[in-house]
Amino acid sequence: MNVQPSQTVKGKDRYKSGVMEYRKMGYWEPDYEPKDTDVIACFRVTPQDGVDPIEASAAVAGESSTATWTVVWTDRLTATEKYRAKCYRVDPVPGTEGQYFAYIAYDLDLFEPGSISNLTASIIGNVFGFKPLKALRLEDMRLPLAYVKTFQGPATGIVVERERLDKFGRPLLGATVKPKLGLSGRNYGRVVYEALKGGLDFTKDDENINSQPFMHWRERFLYCMEAVAKAEAATGEIKGTYLNVTAATMEDMYERAEFAKELGSCIVMIDLVIGYTAIQSMAKWARRNDMILHLHRAGHSTYTRQKAHGVSFRVIAKWMRLAGVDHIHAGTVVGKLEGDPATTRGYYDICREDFNPMRLEHGVFFDQPWASLNKLMPVASGGIHAGQMHQLLDLLGEDVVLQFGGGTIGHPAGIAAGATANRVALEAMIFARNAGRDYVNEGPTILAEAARSCTPLRQALDVWGDVTFNYASTDQLDFVPTPSVAG
């Protein structure tokens, strides 16, 4: 698109009372070169019909930083040029009429150190409801090294989690207890025991298992820990169950987390809906108490799934790595929930790498340094089963928790058999990969071979072997492999 030069009004005219276009107030600076310490955001802007995209993008910069709808003289009491966010680049979205990628730089002083709430209050505060925009989506952010360093990061991290669990060289295995609702504590613990004894490393509370009439939280915790201890004795392996401590208030959550610790649990769990401040509080608590912190991304699809409006999950993943959780659900590609392979790969890289290079083909818009912050273990959950093991390993790698809920509990020969089927399939696939076999293409053969000495796996393959969820993704990437020069 035509690059409009800066139209910033200088001198005393800039602060004359009245309404002025955002691009004239200094929020459009095409010559600006972002500093290493700037926070940078990339928004997908859809202006209302007739609104100039540059003006719309400048308005986003203004509304997410210093501006209000009219000129205010009190700006002149501040170093306003520094605090103004600067939109420095606007590109049309390839192949999509009426949408634009706007790049906006924010000075580091705009943000409180170590506070996701403060960061998000600026970047996704008022601006998403701004009338001149039809829709607005935060696609990605570059968090400068200087800001990353002000965060704790994952309380435990992938490496230490593995050391504590004494489990290396393969994905971890989990299952969410089903049915989600209605089991009594005693019945619930049965599922946990069977699954762990059968070969899983973890079981998991679902996001809406808190403290309900059918099972109060203490019942669940007590029976679950009986199950964990018994499974550890039966296998000689360390086991865990994510006890969901999500509750109405921080006080309640701390009480539940403390009780989980007293009972000897190695892991607790929270839901994304508790909010960023509560998440950071729990991350600090987890670090203080040697606890792994699992985050269920409950609610995220309300704002991550639609392409034109909301916040991309890759940004949520970045915030959560800063905030300090140890596990985060990040998609399965092959399962029942949203996510195409390239975009999901981008999420996984954000969780697990120490440096993310810009990779538009994975939806990663910026180089992102992580300053040796711990790595965040992605969790793949929802509609996956043992017959997909080769694809899961290929797409998601080794440092991931594979959660087979239905794929464990729905096994025709019982929960323990379901767990064994998954574990055997996984170990056989890892072995084959390490031994140099073409495991992606030979996957079904490798599984069939392993099933010869493992009846539960044979049964699992018979029941689910052909189940797939092939639907078009609603959030595919917009990029052209060789970026065209913006004319």
- Residue 384 gets which letter from DSSP? -
Contact yes or no for 84/27 (Cβ under 8 A): yes
| Binding residue (CB under 8 A) for other proteins from 21, 52, 91, 226 | 226
Catalytic positions, written as ranges: 178, 296
Number of residues that bind other proteins (CB under 8 A): 40
Spell out the residues 6+ positions from residue 415 whose beta carbon is closer than 8 angstroms to its own: 191, 194, 195, 198, 408, 409
Reply yes or no: is the peptide bond before residue 483 cis, omega within 30 of 0: no
Backbone angles phi, psi at 320, to 5 degrees: -70, -30
Measure the CA–CA gap between 4 and 90, rounded to whole angstroms: 10
When asked if residue 187 is in the footprint of other proteins (CB under 8 A), the reply is: no
Is 97 a binding residue for other proteins by CB under 8 A? The answer is no
CB of 18 to other proteins, least distance (A): 54
CA–CA dist 242, 307 (Å, integer)? 32
Return d(Cα 42, Cα 89) in angstroms, integer.
9
**In the complex, what is the shortest distance from the CB of residue 385 to other proteins, in angstroms, rounded to a whole number?**
17
The torsion angles phi and psi of 154, rounded to 5 degrees, stand at: -50, 130
134 is written with which tokens? 């039809």
232 binds other proteins (CB under 8 A): yes
Among residues 1, 3, 79, 233, the one that binds other proteins under rule CB under 8 A = 233
The 10 Å Cβ neighbour count of residue 359 is 16
By CB under 8 A, is residue 367 in contact with other proteins?
no
Residue 367 assigned ligand-binding role: no
Q: Choose among 232, 182, 223, 174: nearest CA to 203.
A: 174
Is 297 within any annotated ligand binding site?
yes
- 44: annotated binding-site residue? no
Please choose, out of 20-28, 69-77, 431-439, 470-478, the segment that lies near other proteins by the rule CB under 8 A: 431-439
| Radius of gyration, alpha carbons of the chain | 25
Which one among 79, 159, 440, 486 touches other proteins, defined by CB under 8 A? 159
By CB under 8 A, is residue 430 in contact with other proteins? yes
Query: Binding to other proteins by residue 238, rule CB under 8 A?
Result: yes
The answer to the question of residue 350 lying near other proteins (CB under 8 A) is no
Q: Rounded CA gap, 26 and 41, in Å?
A: 17
Question: Which span (114-122, 163-171, 465-473, 475-483) binds other proteins, by CB under 8 A?
Answer: 163-171
The answer to the question of whether 126 is labelled as a binding residue is: yes
Task: Build a one-symbol-per-residue string for 255-294: x at contacts with other proteins by CB under 8 A, - elsewhere.
Answer: -------xxx------------------------------
The interface mask with other proteins, positions 204-223, x = CB under 8 A, is --------------x---x-
Flag whether 329 is marked binding.
yes
For the chain, how many residues are written? 487
Any known ligand binding at 207?
A: yes
Q: Does 440 bind other proteins (CB under 8 A)?
A: no
Instruction: Establish whether 239 is an annotated binding residue.
Output: no
State the burial class of residue 303 (Cβ atoms within 10 Å of its Cβ: 0-12, 13-18, 19+). middle
Beta-carbon-side half-sphere exposure of residue 64 (alpha carbons within 13 Å)? 36
Pairing status of strand 133-142 against strand 100-106: unpaired
Terminal Cα-to-Cα distance of the chain (whole angstroms): 5
Which one of 52-60, 206-214, 382-390, 434-442 is the stretch in contact with other proteins (CB under 8 A)? Answer: 434-442
Closer CB to other proteins, 158 or 274, in the complex? 158
Q: What angle do CA 444, 450, 452 make, to 5 degrees?
A: 105
317 vs 352: CA distance, rounded Å: 11
8 Å CB contact between 20 and 71: yes
Q: Check: CB of residue 209 under 8 Å from CB of residue 244.
A: yes
Provide the 10 A C-beta neighbour count for residue 487.
7
Nearer to other proteins, 73 or 168 (CB): 168
CB nearer to other proteins: pick between 199 and 331 = 199
Among residues 166, 288, 472, 484, which is the contact residue for other proteins, using CB under 8 A?
166
Q: Which of 195, 428, 446, 461 binds other proteins (CB under 8 A)?
A: 428
* Residues β-bridged to residue 403: 174, 381
Structure-block tokens of residue 126: 């008022």
Binding of other proteins at residue 169 (CB under 8 A)? yes
Longest dimension (CA), the chain: 84
d(CA 340, CA 25): 40
Which residue, 320 or 419, has its beta carbon nearer to other proteins?
419
Decide: is 451 part of the binding site for other proteins (CB under 8 A): no
Output 127 or 227, the one with its CB closest to other proteins.
Answer: 227
Interface with other proteins (CB under 8 A), residue from 334, 423, 451, 461:
423
**Nearer of residues 197 and 300 to other proteins, judged by Cβ:** 197
Annotated binding site: 126, 176, 180, 204, 206-207, 297, 329, 381
Residues that bind other proteins (CB under 8 A): 159, 162-163, 166, 168-170, 199, 218, 222, 225-226, 229-230, 232-238, 262-264, 354, 372, 375, 420, 423-424, 427-428, 430-431, 434-436, 450, 453-454
Annotated binding site for substrate: 126, 176, 180, 297, 329, 381
